[in-house]
Chain A
Amino acid sequence: MSETLQGAGRPVPAESSWTPVDGRLLDVEDLFVEFRTRDGVAKAINGVSFSLDEGETLAVLGESGSGKSVTAQAIMGILDSPPGFITGGRIRYCGTDLLGLTEKQRREVRGPEISMIFQDALSSLNPVFPVGWQIAEMLRVHRGANRSDAREGAIRLMERVNIPAARQRVNAFPHQFSGGMRQRIMIAMAIALDPAVLIADEPTTALDVTVQAQIMALLAELQEERRMGLILITHDLGVVADVADRIAVMYAGRLVETADVHPIYAAPAHPYTKGLLASIPRLDQKGQELSAIGGLPPNLTRIPPGCPFNPRCPYAQDVCRHDPPPPLIEVRPGRRSACHFTDRVLADSEVEFDHTHPGAQEEGR
């Protein structure tokens, strides 16, 4: 029980019925999601498996349409259905398959156990209610707190996320706050019930860099303090390098590479990851050549046969076009890649990515 919630309504059982199994919070197994639209069936997620431990930061990296946000929505149980349908797989939280729960049971997980921060704070907050009221709603609904206790709880949460003059601003409306402050309010709502898992879906994409730095620092601090498992969904390779423990790279609804943060930047094992790293300009390099990945991410209603990356892949051979998509297999201890030619990619990466930062060689290799 964190100090945030003391005095915020009736006491809740100190030990919730959810306890991690061997430190493992979340286990996603072979998840499939599709969207049935008028234009056909969009296969948004095609067999995704990953896990999250206590206190761990997992970054899910991908471009728009790669299925990273849909994965988050499936875990949260907020997928719009229809048109979205989970057509296969399991999402285990502390050993229990969430997909087998009733909606009422699901609500007891969503918020107190797993909670989420959305990208666009302005459209995620209700414009006609004061922010304090919206934060307090979490405590009223889930904890049965009365109005004044919930309000005090909301003020404490606003103070915790470093909103200046929280007591004066608790009755202000979302439009009266700047973008960074709104994102702090979203974070306050997300941590109100002390969740074990926090999913942050592009939490800083709409923000300026100086504000992004503030928000990422706040998230790191909160995670440390509460030993939360954090799933950070983003397309920003810079942010990931700063905070993640492990990385899962998604492409066309599949995981194409998973690894600890250091090895993946030192030598990516999948051509897509390699292409991404070679295509972003770096602040600390000059005279850099950007080698763009050709082509476009596929339309999810028409994913190409074979490996979905093959039309854009410099390594592609006939096998990539005809055989079923390569499975995610272990290439090094703790590293998995879904590519027929992952050894060649890895060997090339080790040569090409050798010109990293001075000092990079002694650390992290």
Chain B
Amino acid sequence: MSREVILSARDLVKHYPIRTGVLRRTTGQVRAVAGVSFDLYKGETLGIVGESGCGKSTLGRLLVQLERPTSGRLAFGGTVEDLDAGAPDVVDMVAADGNRLRQLRRDVQIVFQDPYTSLNPRKTVGDIIQEPFDIHPAVEPRQGRRRRVQELLELVGLNPEHINRYPHQFSGGQRQRIGIARGIALNPKVLVCDEPVSALDVSVQAQVVNLMERLQDELGLSYVFVAHDLSVVRHISDRVGVMYLGSMVELGDEEQIYERPTHPYTQALLSAVPVPDPTLRGRREEIVLSGDVPSPANPPSGCRFHTRCWKAQDVCAVEPPPLAPRPDGVSAHDSACHFAEPRTIVETVDVS
């Protein structure tokens, strides 16, 4: 994997106003994403995991510009630092408008979670996949579009003859393939996948995961893979970011996160995942977190995890720990904890 950065985020923030009363006055802010920074490298898969409400989907929507950030920087084609240094071919995603923005939308596409609601039921599959070309006509001349759609259908493992069918004539797994075909129609460089397999049956999940891995190899795509299923994320990701209440609490290689997690939240999350092996029953270390995730409208002071953390000290309630490289026993990787230390939660077996 080349270490060339394709997309870069710095201190990304997204607040949603809470409006109450007849005057709809803003009485508070939901801090959905509260200062997230990362780089996405070319050809890699960056997994984003966390529980519901942690801001991972909002982050995905910010990356494809479905939402505008409240503050923070986003660069495409290089890092934010490259952008400030005036490097050519690096685009400021937040400032982009007009043609720049249209080009960006071609380059960064999204696949949605729910294949049942994300496809227009009144349009045929052909129309759905062709729609991106109607908006970006330069990608494919009009005469070639129908054939291109059929190629795309074939690429994602569907029968090209089904081009005139409607979404309801397909199963969930097939619909998700249609969503993926639409996502790759414009030859994007980055594909943001928001829970792409969570709505699918277990026996179909593997088909779609394998398809996504094949497409990545064939098309050289970079993925941001947002999901709550830590097993799927481990399988598909090169690097993984763990989010809690709008912040990235740990970021590292798949191996660093799963084998040498240093943040207590990551450790608790990993320990809660059931492993399909009854011989491990009672032998797995389980860290049970008490309580629920606090409201993002009123997050705790300091480290946002301190209210549920067994390691919390006075400093944690005051000073938010920065996401910085901290030793994990073998090397060092980014973790946002004052008391970060590695702990083996998952006994990993290499079966490759």
Do A and B come from the same complex?
Answer: yes
Q: Which A residues form the contact surface with B (CB < 8 A)?
A: 63-64, 164, 178-181, 208-214, 216-217, 235-242, 244, 261-262, 265-266, 275-277, 279-288, 290-294, 296-297, 355-360, 363-364
- What number of residue pairs across chains A and B have CB atoms under 8 A from each other? 166
List 17 extra interface pairs beyond A178-B292, A235-B201, A290-B210, CB under 8 A: A213-B272, A213-B288, A241-B275, A241-B276, A241-B278, A275-B203, A282-B231, A283-B258, A284-B275, A285-B349, A286-B234, A290-B209, A291-B206, A292-B203, A297-B201, A360-B277, A364-B279
**Shortest beta-carbon distance from B261 to chain A in Å:** 12
User: In the complex, A357→B291 CA distance in Å?
Assistant: 32
Once bound together, how far apart are the Cα atoms of A211 and B228, in whole Å? 13
> How far apart sit A285 and B348, CA to CA, in the bound complex (Å)?
5
Which residues of B are in contact with A by a Cβ distance under 8 Å? 51-52, 171, 173-174, 201-207, 209-210, 228, 230-232, 234-236, 254-255, 258, 268-281, 283, 286, 288-289, 291-292, 346-352
Residue A238 contacts which of B236, B276, B292 (CB distance < 8 angstroms)? B276
Bound-state CA distance A67–B205 (Å) is: 20
User: Do B272 and A356 have beta carbons less than 8 Å apart?
Assistant: no
In the complex, what distance in Å separates the CA atom of A214 from the CA atom of B290?
8
Complexed CA–CA distance, A353 and B173 (Å)? 27
A279 to B349 CA separation, bound complex (whole angstroms): 17
CB-contact partner of A237 in B201, B276, B351, under 8 A:
B276
A63 to B199 alpha-carbon distance, docked (Å): 12
**Bound: A78/B232 CA distance, A:** 36
Complex CA gap A64/B254 in Å reads 31
CB distance from A245 to the nearest CB of B (A): 10
- Cβ contacts under 8 Å, B210 to chain A: 290, 292
For the complex formed, measure the closest distance between the CB of B44 and the CB atoms of chain A, giving whole angstroms: 16
How close is B216's CB to chain A, nearest CB, in angstroms? 14
Residues from chain B with Cβ under 8 Å of A283 in the complex = 230-231, 234, 258, 270, 273, 275, 346
CB distance from B266 to the nearest CB of A (A): 12
Query: Which B residues touch A242, using CB under 8 A?
Result: 274, 278, 281
Q: Are A357 and B277 in contact (CB under 8 A)?
A: yes
Q: Which 6 pairs between the two chains have the least Cβ-Cβ distance?
A: A287-B352, A238-B274, A292-B206, A281-B235, A279-B206, A208-B51
Which residues of A are found within 8 Å of B348, using beta-carbon distances? 284-286
A355 to B351, CA, bound (A): 8
In the bound complex, do residue B51 and residue A210 qualify as a contact, i.e. CB atoms below 8 Å apart?
A: yes
Distance between A228 CB and nearest chain B CB, rounded to angstroms: 19
Which residues of chain A come closer than 8 Å to B276, judged between CB atoms?
237-238, 240-241, 265, 277, 280, 282
Q: Are A357 and B280 in contact (CB-based, < 8 A)? A: yes
Question: Taking the nearest CB of chain A, how far is it from the CB of B49, in angstroms?
Answer: 10
- Smallest CB-CB separation from B289: which chain A residue? A210
Q: Which of chain A's residues have a CB closer than 8 A to the CB of B352?
A: 286-288
Measured in the bound complex, the distance between the Cα atoms of B281 and A287 in whole Å is 23
Complex Cα distance, B52 from A242, in Å, reads 23
Residue of B nearest to A355 (CB): B351
Contacts of B230 in A (CB 8 A): 209, 283
Distance A194 CA – B36 CA, assembled complex (angstroms): 49
Asked if B207 and A292 make an inter-chain contact with CB atoms under 8 angstroms apart, the answer reads yes
Q: How far is the CA of A216 from the CA of B274 in the complex (A)?
A: 11
Are B203 and A63 in contact, with the CB atoms below 8 A? yes
Asked if A285 contacts B351 (CB within 8 A), the reply is yes
Q: How far is the CA of A261 from the CA of B276 in the complex (A)?
A: 10
Q: A281-B231, A283-B346 are in contact. Are A359 and B279 (CB under 8 A)?
A: yes
Question: Is B279 in contact with A210, judged by CB distance below 8 angstroms?
Answer: no
Assembled-state Cα–Cα distance A1/B173 (Å): 48
Contact partners of A297 in chain B: CB under 8 A: 201, 203
Q: Which of B202, B228, B278 contacts A235 (CB 8 A)?
A: B202
Q: Are A280 and B275 in contact (CB under 8 A)?
A: no
A71 to B214, CA, bound (A): 38
Cα distance A292–B200 when bound, in Å? 13
Jot down 30 A-B pairs with beta carbons below 8 A, ordered by A.
A178-B292, A181-B292, A208-B228, A210-B288, A235-B202, A238-B276, A241-B277, A242-B274, A262-B278, A265-B277, A266-B279, A276-B202, A279-B203, A280-B231, A281-B231, A281-B234, A282-B231, A283-B230, A283-B234, A283-B346, A286-B349, A287-B351, A292-B203, A294-B207, A296-B174, A356-B279, A357-B277, A357-B347, A358-B347, A359-B279
The reply to whether A279 and B277 form a contact with Cβ atoms under 8 Å apart is no
Q: Is the CB of A214 within 8 A of B288?
A: yes
For B274, the chain A residues whose CB sits under 8 A away are 212-213, 216, 236, 238-239, 241-242
Q: Which residues of B contact A363 (CB under 8 A)?
A: 279
Q: Give Cα A177 to B281, complex, Å.
A: 31
Residues of the A chain whose Cβ atoms lie less than 8 Å from the Cβ of B268: 210
Indicate which residue in A179, A284, A364 contacts B278 across the interface (CB closer than 8 Å): A364
Within 8 Å by CB of A357, from B171, B209, B349, B350, lies B349
